[in-house]
Amino acid sequence: MHTKVAIIGGGPSGLLLSHILHRAGIESVILERQSRDYVLARIRAGVLERGLTDMLRAHGLGERLDREGMVHTGFDLAYAGKILRIDLEALTGSHVTVYGQTEVTRDLYAAREAAGGTILHHVEDVALHDVTTDHPFITFRQNGVKERLDCDFIAGCDGFHGVSRATIPASVLTTFERVYPFGWLGILSRTKPVREELIYANHADGFALCSMRSERLSRYYIQCRTDEDIKNWPDERFWEALAKRLPKEVAVNLETGSSIEKSIAPLRSFVTEPMRHGRLFLAGDAAHIVPPTGAKGLNLAASDIHYLSAALIGYFNEQSEAGLEAYSARALSRVWKAVRFSWWMTSLMHAFPDQGAFGQRIQEAELDYIAASRAAQVALAENYIGLPY
């Protein structure tokens, strides 16, 4: 087999890249380790920046997004019994859209199928070869048969644990990492969201987040220890802990019910440089991880795809290598700004093991400052809706 662009990973990053390239007349093949049902069962982010929603619409993927997505013109910060609304529309003239990553992935699968795109599932033993030459290729096994895929370029969209970054010699990469001393315990429930917009709560017992996927599907999180056993968190205990961390006027409206999904996610910040090695390009979680506090994971992957797709289109359709040469630097510039914002939001809203009463008061003082300063609110809002590509 031969294709122009081989894409490792069939999540939203890989699917979006394949779709954009197809619309530019550039063929690609996606290799995915899991089944389609497995990919669609992943519970992930739900807050989309304006840049991502504009990109989806520009490439014919906005119909269901516009019909079912929930436009949010603000969000709440809760602390010390107070509620501060960050009015995104008034502060920036823009907004975010709540539309689950699973739904974005579903729309992308439908688009690739309608276009006859090639997505190979259940691939195993994937190995990348000759990535620093003009003729890279990939070997893999599917249905017990060893296959070879020759290509011009490889896009590594296969996540933090994928083979793409691992292919690059350690001597070439510089990695930066911070592992946070807590995780998020999250549940999905068929209950009415406690509020029309998201609530990020700072509390001495730990952070909490009230989010949603639809008008009858809620997504809630509370901060927990990284070594927690999820078996020790029955639904009743979760609801009690969540209610305690919310202002009373919010907690009184909390509708509880049985969880339909429950999981614990560790928090980390991770960046690897560069995001290119020869004809191998990293995108999304293969190159960077951010804590979910700032809602940047999927959005940051999408900005990578914006830069990478433009670079590949420039190469194939305009015979220019300028975009390829600039890809890593351009992507990393935006990555680091998003990493900074996610770190700041995490530091502001979570209870750290060593912060004590002093640290709690410092957080509350900073939140009070944000409440009194339009400039501080503008900076927060600009980062939340997403910096320009």
Quote the tokens at residue 152. 């011009």
Residues in CB range of 122: below 8 A, 6 or more apart: 32, 33, 34, 35, 142, 143
* Local structure of 293: helix, strand or coil: helix
Residues in CB range of 142: below 8 A, 6 or more apart: 120, 122, 123, 124
pLDDT of residue 46: 86
List pLDDT tens digits, range 313-356: 999 999 999 999 999 999 999 999 999 999 999 999 999 999 99
> What letter would DSSP give residue 292?
G
Q: Which residue intervals of the chain bear CATH 3.30.9.10?
A: 180-267+351-385
List pLDDT tens digits, range 63-118: 999 999 999 999 999 999 999 999 999 999 999 999 989 999 999 999 999 999 99
Residues in CB range of 19: below 8 A, 6 or more apart: 59, 61, 108, 111, 112, 115, 117
288-289 and 259-273 strand pairing: antiparallel
Question: What are the φ and ψ backbone dihedral angles of 30, each rounded to 5 degrees?
Answer: -105, 130
List pLDDT tens digits, range 196-252: 999 999 999 999 999 998 889 999 999 999 999 999 999 999 999 999 999 999 999
Residues in CB range of 2: below 8 A, 6 or more apart: 149, 150, 151
Would the CA dihedral through 368, 373, 374, 375 be positive or negative?
Answer: negative
List pLDDT tens digits, range 5-31: 999 999 999 999 999 999 999 999 999
Q: Check if 277 is active-site.
A: no
Residues 269/285, Cβ–Cβ less than 8 Å: no
Q: Which residue intervals of the chain bear CATH 3.50.50.60?
A: 2-70+98-177+268-346
Q: Look-up: residue for tokens 């900005």?
A: 303
2-8 and 28-31 strand pairing: parallel
CATH class held by domain 2-70+98-177+268-346? alpha beta
Q: What is the mean pLDDT of the chain?
A: 96
Quote the tokens at residue 1. 């087999």
Q: Provide the pLDDT confidence category of residue 43 given band limits of 50, 70 and 90.
A: low
Question: What are the φ and ψ backbone dihedral angles of 157, each rounded to 5 degrees?
Answer: -115, 35
pLDDT of residue 206: 97
pLDDT of residue 62: 96
Q: Which of 296, 307, 315, 327 is catalytic?
A: 296
Q: In CATH terms, is domain 180-267+351-385 a member of 1.10.1040.10?
A: no
List pLDDT tens digits, range 152-195: 999 999 999 999 999 999 999 999 999 999 999 999 999 999 99
Q: Check if 95 is active-site.
A: no
Q: Which of 19, 72, 277, 350 is catalytic?
A: 72
Q: Which of 180, 292, 306, 315 is catalytic?
A: 292
Q: Which of 79, 109, 200, 220 is catalytic?
A: 200
Cα separation, 91 vs 89, whole angstroms: 6
Question: What are the φ and ψ backbone dihedral angles of 43, each rounded to 5 degrees?
Answer: -95, 115
Q: Check if 384 is active-site.
A: yes
